Amino acid sequence: MLKYTIRRLLWMVPVLLAVTSVTFILMHLVPGGPWDREKTLPAQVVTNLNARYGLDLPLWHQYVRYLLNLLRGDLGVSYTFQDRNVTTILRQGLPVTATLGIVAFGWAMVLGISLGMAAALRRNSATDYFSVFFATMFASIPGFVLAIVLIIIFSVWLHLLPTSGWGSPKHLLMPALALGALPAALIARITRASVLEVLRQDYVRTAYAKGLMDRTIFYKHVLRNALIPVLSIAGPELAFLVTGSFIIEQVFSVPGIGRLFVQGVFARDYGLIMGSILFYTLIIALLNLVVDLAYAVVDPRIRYA
Amino acid sequence: MSSQSQPANAAFPAPVQVAARPARSLWRDAFGRLLRNRLALASGLVILVLSVLALFAPLVSPHDPIKQNLFAIQRSPSWDHWLGTDFLGRDVLARLIYGARTSLSVGLFTQLVVLSIGLPLGAAAGYLSSRWDNALMRFTDVMYAFPDLLLIILLRAILGGSIYMVFLAIGLVAWVNIARLVRGQVLSQKSGEYVTAARALGASGPYILARHILPNALGPVIVATTFLIPRAIFAEAALSYIGIGVKPPTPSWGSMIQDGFGVIFAAPYLVLFPAIAIAVVMMAFTFLGDGLRDALDPRLRGAEGRFR
């Protein structure tokens, strides 16, 4: 297991390197530069700025320099936020994006799994139909649309919640709801199907035949087996949540990393673009690894070599 | 062919009896199953109606979607403007109808980009040597490592310009899904007995691929493409929402939301209508995709955990 973990961590290096290179090339292909303003700066100023930030060097040289700095953990400077370097900016954005992602994921998992289970255990009941309806509907509505509907209901009509900003639980409520709805629906779907599948298994019938209590059967036999497929989509969903949050961050003006990326692209802020993409890529890769390892914990039959 | 085989049939009457059974193809069966799925059928109808509206927008639309009427700014829904007017006095209903043009064309034309890259590359990876396969798979690994909406934004910033570049930017990111799927399909079909039989009859590699393997792999590709349509529509709405989608004044649901967002307290309907439009279209394509999947491969229903 340790060997497997190390191998997976090592495999991240070439992937991150490839992502770095692709992003580097792409962002320099974006027309315009960081010094384009409404009012053009004097040519000498632009030359001096380029020299200051090493933008006058050939592209390959800039790239090598970036990689060398990256090895030292230095993500470079931002041209938009002159007072902080990219590492600091990302470090300030991380808790925001992470809080949003984790809260959204948390309620999505809790609601999704309980709805899915309730539906499966009371098949063809009102609970079942309600959760199927919920899941079918929210599985296809993007969080961004939901966010707008929530704002109209809770801010415009009911005057209960602020439309934007960050800092209090009130600010967190709508973004987390909007972000978590789609994963909640997908998790409910998978859980329901998976529980139904497990309930049909021979070992469950055997457990009943042995006269075990319903509760024991449910927790020891059904739940553990039914959660494996749920876990398998939980990883990609969490990654999707973290990255998908950037449009939600945009809607609610949440100062997370997603907004930084959008700002970076508009301002041709190369340091910010590279930093946020690398951050997202790393998060996705790590989450996938965590999920794969979690399999082995839930299901002792899975062994990684 | 039939004229040549007639003498043989005369000698063996049995096949004639078999042929008397009405011909039932896979596609016909699938279509029948799709028609029995009410949700998918309704979704198909919604898409059809929207497509007709979008196609005949100039005839259906009550107003010009771009013409500004500065004497009727931000009017609430009324008899003259059914869904009201926006901050430049443009008719919201007209912009919604023309916005359907944008959304649906992004949904469809993006798939042309996706299929024209994903099909050949995926098929090549599945059919050719393992070196090609490895190269493509490592490449798609990197693509999957990217947060896709962010990559689309970067590409969009590079490509700039017209709506065609929106198709291209989304397609250049989304083709990976189809390539992987086609590769998997080809790999699994390649070992089928009918492929061995075709090879034994002397058919060439490209012929087998085009005539035997790809048609058999088509079902999942159609389903996956249907699911990619709402994702492309969403990507365009998101791009237009942050201001780098289709260029104004071309109506797009995403940019309508952006335009109305600032006055959401004064005129919530300005963002509500386009938001509902996006949700309806995405739901319709997703339900249609669900229906197609069930229709094309009923076995998947239980295995993939479809709700019934």
End-to-end CA distance of chain A: 6
**pLDDT tens across A204-215, in order?**
888 889 888 888
Q: At what angle do helices B253-261 and B269-296 cross, to 10 degrees?
A: 150
> Cα A172–A178–A182 angle (5° rounding)?
135
The alpha-carbon radius of gyration of chain B (Å, integer) is 24
> Distance between alpha carbon B197 and the CA centroid of its chain, in Å?
34
Mean pLDDT over all residues of chain A? 84
Mean pLDDT over all residues of chain B? 81
ipTM: 0.81
pLDDT exceeding 70 applies to what percent of chain A?
98
CB pairs under 8 A between A and B: 123
Angular region, A275: left φ>0, alpha ψ -120 to 50, beta rest: alpha
A197: pLDDT confidence band, cut at 50, 70 and 90? confident
pLDDT at B2: 43
Taken in order A232, A235, A238, A239, the sign of the CA dihedral is negative
The answer to whether A151 touches A163, Cβ cutoff 8 Å, is: yes
Q: A 44-103 residues with CB below 8 A of B?
A: none
**pLDDT tens across B33-61, in order?**
888 888 888 999 999 999 999 888 888 77
Q: What's the mean pLDDT in B272-297?
A: 87
Judged by CB atoms closer than 8 Å, whether chains meet at B146 and A277 is answered as: yes
Q: Which domains does chain B have, with CATH numbers?
A: 37-65+77-301 (1.10.3720.10)
pLDDT at B281: 92
Judged by CB atoms closer than 8 Å, whether chains meet at A27 and B154 is answered as: yes
For residues A216 and B8, which has the higher predicted lDDT (pLDDT)? A216
A164: pLDDT confidence band, cut at 50, 70 and 90? confident
pLDDT at B110: 93
Distance CA(A187)–CA(A115), nearest Å, equals 9
The answer to whether A245 touches A179, Cβ cutoff 8 Å, is: yes
Q: What's the mean pLDDT in A170-183?
A: 88
Q: What's the mean pLDDT in B120-127?
A: 87
pLDDT exceeding 90 applies to what percent of chain A?
3
pLDDT at B303: 35
Taken in order B85, B231, B28, B35, the sign of the CA dihedral is negative
- Give the DSSP H or E segment for B98: helix B92-127
Q: How many CA atoms lie within 13 A of A247 on its CB side?
A: 30
A304: pLDDT confidence band, cut at 50, 70 and 90? low
Q: Residue A158 corresponds to which amino acid?
A: L
Distance CA(A279)–CA(A275), nearest Å, equals 6
Enter the DSSP assignment of A305.
-
Is residue B298 pLDDT above 70, yes or no? no
Residue from B292, B304, B303 nearest B29 by CA: B292
Report if pTM > 0.80: yes
Q: How many CA atoms lie within 13 A of A238 on its CB side?
A: 23
Residue A137 sits at the chain B interface (C-beta within 8 Å): yes
B18: pLDDT confidence band, cut at 50, 70 and 90? low
- Give the DSSP H or E segment for B8: helix B2-11
* Minimum Cα–Cα distance from B269: chain A residue: A152
Lowest mean pLDDT among A115-119, A235-239, B286-290: A235-239
A29: pLDDT confidence band, cut at 50, 70 and 90? confident
Is residue B89 pLDDT above 90, yes or no? no
DSSP H helical ranges for chain A: 2-29, 43-52, 59-71, 86-121, 126-138, 143-150, 169-199, 202-209, 214-216, 224-251, 257-267, 270-298
B304: pLDDT confidence band, cut at 50, 70 and 90? very low
Is residue A26 pLDDT above 70, yes or no? yes
The answer to whether B198 touches B84, Cβ cutoff 8 Å, is: no
Peptide bond into B62 cis (omega under 30): no
pLDDT at B117: 93
**pLDDT tens across A47-86, in order?**
888 877 777 778 888 888 888 888 887 878 887 777 788 8
pLDDT at B307: 27
B305: pLDDT confidence band, cut at 50, 70 and 90? very low
Residue from B63, B47, B82 nearest B269 by CA: B82
Decide which of 3.40.50.11930, 1.10.3720.10, 3.40.50.720, 3.30.230.10 is the CATH code for A93-258.
Answer: 1.10.3720.10
**pLDDT tens across B182-228, in order?**
888 888 888 888 888 888 888 888 888 888 888 888 888 888 898 89
A305: pLDDT confidence band, cut at 50, 70 and 90? low
Is residue B64 pLDDT above 70, yes or no? yes
> Which of A194, A244, A281 faces B146 most closely, judged by CB atoms?
A281
Domain positions in chain A are: 93-258
pLDDT at B299: 55
pLDDT exceeding 70 applies to what percent of chain B?
88
Cβ-Cβ contacts under 8 Å, A189 against chain B? 305, 307
> Which of B39, B242, B307 faces A250 most closely, judged by CB atoms?
B242
Lowest mean pLDDT among A96-110, A169-183, B198-212, B293-307: B293-307
Angular region, A124: left φ>0, alpha ψ -120 to 50, beta rest: left
pLDDT at B6: 47
Taken in order A206, A210, A215, A219, the sign of the CA dihedral is negative
Judged by CB atoms closer than 8 Å, whether chains meet at A156 and B264 is answered as: yes
For residues B32 and B277, which has the higher predicted lDDT (pLDDT)? B277
Phi, psi of B85 (to 5 degrees): -130, 160
Is residue B115 pLDDT above 90, yes or no? yes
Q: Which of A23, A115, A138, A141 to substitute to test the interface with B, most B CBs within 10 Å? A: A141
**pLDDT tens across B132-180, in order?**
888 888 888 888 778 788 888 888 888 877 888 889 999 999 998 899 8
In the three-class reduction of DSSP (H, G, I as helix; E, B as strand; rest coil), residue A302 is classed as coil
The answer to whether A23 touches B154, Cβ cutoff 8 Å, is: yes
Alpha-carbon distances, residue A222 vs A44, A125, B88 (angstroms): 72, 20, 59
Could you tell me how many residues make up chain B? 308
Q: A 217-256 residues with CB below 8 A of B?
A: 229, 243-244, 246-247, 250-251
